[in-house]
Amino acid sequence: MFTGIVTDVGRVRAVRDTNRDRRIEVETAYDLDTIPMGASIAHAGCCLTVVDKGEGWFAVEVSGESLAKTTLGAWREGTRVNLERPTQVGDELGGHIVSGHVDGVGEVVSVEPEGGSRRIRIRAPRPLHRFIAPKGSIAVEGVSLTVNEVEDDVFGVNIIPHTWEVTTLGELKPGCRVNLEIDMLARYLARWQETA
């Protein structure tokens, strides 16, 4: 489990297709002595397993399913990536509960200044848009955010200057594709209503 609080912005240093899937190496400021092989790390909201590591970098293998259902298939050398290590018992839950399972890929519609912040409007894929509600939580590129408004399949979030500067959200422009994970409570509530 994660909380959607980004703790490092890594940089892709290599991408290589293997006979199994795709291997991606990521440069990081994390202390790699504290990250064991097989550890989970959220990459732009997608939970991946560490399969190799070296001085200042680690590697993950990405399945065809993850490449097809997330933005990871577009990553190239130099791509900056929001990273989050898993929450441990006793950690502060500063965002919201995030599983690291991307539900869909949205498209940025607009990025506008709003006071000192930025308002980003994102089009969610159908039928995922049904699970997004005003004042609910959503993870965008692995960042825990509060939904400000919803109009059909487009929702808006407000990005404060700190988040704009310490995550990859500051690089977003209209047309960018973003990983989305809906609020876990909304997912289970909707499923319960479907079966009730």
**Distance set, CA 194 to CA 101, 126, 134, 190, 191 (Å):** 21, 17, 21, 6, 5
Domain-located, residue 93: no
Per-residue confidence in pLDDT tens, the chain, 196 aa: 899 999 999 999 999 998 879 999 999 999 999 999 999 999 999 999 999 999 999 999 999 999 999 999 999 999 999 999 998 777 777 778 888 999 999 999 999 999 999 999 999 999 899 899 899 999 999 999 999 999 999 999 999 999 999 999 999 999 999 999 998 776 666 666 666 6
d(CA 120, CA 142): 15
Q: Are residues 109 and 43 in the same domain?
A: no
Q: Are residues 61 and 137 in the same domain?
A: no
Q: Tell which residue, 183, 159, 180, has the closest CA to residue 45.
A: 180
Q: Are residues 143 and 191 in the same domain?
A: yes
The total number of structural domains that make up the chain = 2
Structural domain boundaries, residue 27: 8-84
Domain-located, residue 1: no
- pLDDT of 35 reads 96
pTM of the model: 0.92
- CATH number at 49 reads 2.40.30.20
Residue given tokens 């919201």 in the structure block: 96
- pLDDT of 97 reads 82
Q: Are residues 146 and 182 in the same domain?
A: yes
Domain-located, residue 170: yes
- pLDDT of 194 reads 63
Domain-located, residue 2: no
**Distance set, CA 195 to CA 35, 75, 187, 188, 190 (Å):** 41, 38, 13, 11, 9
Domain-located, residue 96: no
Domain-located, residue 94: no
- pLDDT of 1 reads 86
- pLDDT of 20 reads 75
Question: Do the Cβ atoms of 81 and 12 come closer than 8 Å?
Answer: yes
Domain-located, residue 97: no
